[in-house]
Amino acid sequence: MSIQKVVIKEFPKDGRPWRVDWFGEVHLNPNISDEPQIELLISPFIGKPSDAGSTRAVNHHQQRIIRVGVGQLPLIHIGSIWENGKKLPRHLFTYTSNTFSNLVVSPNSLRLIKTSHQDDGEFLLPFKFHPFGKGVSGINGRCVTISHKNDPFHVIVPCTEIIRFYFSQTTKLARALLNGEISSSTESLYDSEKSSLHKDGTCVLHIGMRFDDEDAWVAARLAFSEIANKIARGIHGSIIKNSLNNESGAPEAYPPFYGETNLQTYGKWIQSGDKWRFLVFWINSCSAPFPYNELCCIRKNCGLKPLWDDNDRKSSGWSGRPLLTGKGPDEYSLGDDTPPDRKEPRVNLYLPENRFTHLIGKALIKPEKLRSEYKAGGQKPCFAEKQNDECSTGGLQIADSNTGGLEIKPGPISLDSSHSSEWLNLSATFPNFLHGLKALEHRGAFQVKVIPGSNKTIQSNSGPISFFPIRNQKGYLKWSYIHLKNREYRERRKAIVGRIDYAGYIFYLMESQQRESEHYTMFMVYRYDFGDLKTGIFEAILACCAQNKGKWLKDDEFPEYGREKVKHMWRSYEEFAAKINDIINRIIGGQ
């Protein structure tokens, strides 16, 4: 089902785009016992701003608070924009993108703070930079700061965003985390006695009966990471603790790992005192490893046909879910005021995403069953000619409500035109570039290496990262700065250069650091005899690129070298590798 068919009832239906400014408290839901509600602080846009994250983009005097079921959390994030209850595609609005490479996550680098925290007498989150709400929900919200570049508060991430990104991929996981189902025991999520982690990195997870295959990836992380398990089980307790302390029922959470990561985020730069910090609206991807390499998921009644049957099986006691025949409604009205009836058809909303780069290209292993432990209890599914357009993300009940169930799950990258372009292709970031080169090297005939591209570089675990020159013979190159807010805060634009050796044929692939609103190509350069280029050539090429404002070389610049512009038209690292492989073979073949 397309995301454009979902209308959340609680959003205003006044024809204006509304931005989610912040997450507030978590409350008990008087209508659906197993699905708490979470507050959203929303503000209407003023016109059509060029920078959707700006404080001036919205009328914060008309800011209001709405409540939605926590099962909708995978669909909503700070900065998401809604019009008449429908989520607008991200590519229609501009947000600042920032990738924090080699970001260290450790007990020493993390701090849990209130939204109203002060640093040296200055508010860390001044209201003039972001309208997070002046009421109890806003002031007493919780954030995690991550130390970076010698600043303990350089990266600021709302705790609810950590919960949404790392723990709440699906509706069922969001409900289980925030309603306290797994706070005392995780046995409903997975069987800890039967689950195991092997020395080769293969994980065997016996997932709970009520959870789906899409929940297994996160469930296995909780099962075999003590850090992730402790954080997930403490989320519900933090809500109760903060509520009893006469504060807001704000949840608390940390990232579920320790170590280095490349964190791709969207948000805005804010100034507190004389320092600039980055406030994260939403996390787009994280490269932190999982405690396993392969995941084998087993359940008692997994739906696979057994190799042999047993006539003495006991009944499952389930008479079957209704099946829909014909076309469903044009729109689904999603609310949290009525429990979904298990007798109504259920719909799934798949959100295409690649949030965990460690899992890209991995498939869930589902072994064939040797026997079936249950038999169907006289299953006679009913067939609905017309499906009710009212739905809810709460747990299915016998409610006689005529409200169907809706579950949000991660799905494969889709070519559905209703999704924004950033969902279609991997973004132009250095981590994606490096993962693509690694996939190319796995093809066997390739050897890749990151090399310096200019005289000024910084070292990373993957090799040197170069800076674009800020001057050439023609003068000052303003494009060489990725951020140029004032004299005190300037950030130079970086580049990465990869040397590709294909059976003695040498090629060089170059990628530039880009803002979210920029869409520059990668650049391949090579000698016509396929030998090595001198180091100084790369700095001259980067200077020309800055002079041409990201468009690399013109035809009359360095005509003695071959060149190829490569568009970012791949949805996985394997497609990246296949594209570069095809280009190199075409060039060598003279086609």
Task: Measure Cα distances from 418 to 205, 318, 517 in Å.
Answer: 35, 37, 19
> Which residue, 29, 75, 73, 66, is CA-closest to 336?
29
Tokens 């690694």 correspond to 438
Are 365 and 295 contacting, i.e. CB atoms less than 8 angstroms apart?
A: yes
Using CA atoms in the order 512, 410, 339, 297, what is the torsion angle rounded to 10 degrees?
A: -150
The one-letter amino acid at 285: S
Tokens 């006689």 correspond to 400
Full pLDDT tens readout for the chain, 591 residues:
566 678 999 999 999 999 999 998 999 988 888 899 999 999 999 877 667 888 888 888 899 999 999 999 999 999 999 999 998 887 778 888 888 989 999 999 999 998 888 887 788 888 788 887 766 666 788 999 999 989 999 999 999 999 999 999 999 999 999 999 998 888 999 999 999 999 888 999 999 988 888 899 999 999 999 999 999 999 999 999 988 886 678 999 999 999 999 999 999 998 888 889 999 999 999 999 999 999 999 876 555 544 444 455 544 444 455 544 445 677 888 888 888 877 777 777 877 677 898 887 778 887 765 555 555 444 444 445 555 678 888 887 766 777 888 888 886 543 333 333 333 467 788 888 988 898 888 877 889 999 988 878 888 766 788 888 887 777 778 888 887 655 555 788 899 999 999 988 999 999 998 876 788 899 999 999 999 998 789 989 999 998 888 889 988 899 999 999 998 877 778 788 888 988 998 888 775
> Which residue, 399, 376, 375, 377, is CA-closest to 388?
399
Q: Give the chain's radius of gyration (CA, Å).
A: 26
- What are the DSSP E strand ranges found in 243-339? 259-272, 275-286, 294-298, 314-315, 323-324, 332-335
